[in-house]
Amino acid sequence: MTQEQAHRLPIGHPEFRYVPSKNPYWGKIQGVTDGSALQDHDAEALRGRWRQAFADRGVAGSRLVVELGCNGGHVLNGWAEREPGSLHVGVDWKYKQIYFAAEKARKRGLKNAAYARAHGDRLPYLFGEGEVDMLAVYFPDPWPKKAQWKHRFLREEWFRRVAPVVRPGGELHIKTDHDGYFDWILEHVARVGDVWSPVDQTRDLHAGNPDPALLQIPDVTLFERLFIRDGIPIKSLRLLRRR
């Protein structure tokens, strides 16, 4: 099978292969040599070895936190600064976001933060079994029209696919502003009770806060601050990986 043929396979297929991109930030990420930004198969080469990769950068930590859909790294960099004893990996599909997120981490001296350009369906190839302590997915695209629901990735198959990378007792935290998507998520979570246990669920995460508009990153995301400003309740779901 040629590389181009492998690239045409479903992205979650074990034989799928990324190919070099014409995106200018593909080349920029290739030029990052300190391990703060990786992409595609270079990132997947660290599967099961992320803690060692951080150790090679002079950072020790036992807890590995991953944010899927990290955008520009605002939240993840904030976590890394607040929790210097933990290791943080941001994952996003966009080259530019990964490049600039890593650049901001470097400027802040956050060696316990790294960024990987990868697709959400590739998480089992990006992280080893039980390697992740906490996985966060904040405000994924809700694809609100019924004809778009096929694009929603938070579904039964995905919950089962990513479960092995989270250690037993580890956490998956989801936040969304969209009522319909939250209902969808709960419906699919109900089908995976053998691998995930809901432990905290709310349709108004900040209901007990007298002034949630004062919340700052990383306690809220950029999108979350806008939703709070517009009076949109934040839906939140915490799941624990069953032992």
Task: Fill in the amino acid letter for 178.
Answer: H
Burial class (CB in 10 A: 0-12, 13-18, 19+), 43: buried
Out of 141, 183, 200, 204, pick the active-site residue: 141
* Whether residue 219 lies in the annotated active site: no
**Alpha-carbon distance 197 to 194, whole Å?**
8
Please provide the DSSP assignment of the chain as one string: --HHHHHTS-TTSTT-------SHHHHHHHT--SSSEEEHHHHHTTTT-HHHHHHHTT---SEEEEEES-TTSHHHHHHHHH-TTEEEEEEES-HHHHHHHHHHHHHTT-TTEEEEE--GGGHHHHS-TT-EEEEEEES-----SGGGGGG---SHHHHHHHGGGEEEEEEEEEEES-HHHHHHHHHHHTT-TTTEEEEEEES-TTTT-S-GGG--TTTS-HHHHHHHHTTPPPEEEEEEE--
Q: List active site positions.
A: 141
